[in-house]
Structure 1
Amino acid sequence: MKLNHLLVGSYLGSPALGYYTVADNLAGMPIREIVGSLDATLFPGGAPIANDNERL
């Protein structure tokens, strides 16, 4: 659980927590999309050379 969400919810209430959560999700979306794309291509591509230190 994220401590910042707990603090916002307890000090500012449910409506503020809703806005905060949506903003937090939107802020992290570009990074998740980029990392997801890289993850889908780099890990399968690197698997064949994982034990070859010279090529790696």
Structure 2
Amino acid sequence: MRQEIRCGQCNRLLAKGDVRELEIKCRRCGTMNLVRTTRPSREAREAHSEKRVENNR
């Protein structure tokens, strides 16, 4: 699922996607926005678990 990343100041849509960490400047108001994932999504955790299982075979 793609996340909408919006400016914290003016709420302009800056990007869509899955991000771990992103620093992006809003072209409308000039605010620097720092976006960090607080915890992995369910899909990311499941994919990571599947890789570990495959690597252990």
Question: Which gives a bigger RCO, structure 1 or 2 (Cα 8 Å, sep 6+)?
Answer: 2
Provide the TM-score with structure 1 as the length reference. Answer: 0.37
Higher strand residue share: 2
Q: Which protein is richer in helix relative to its size? A: 1
Which has the larger Rg? 1
TM-score by length of 2: 0.37
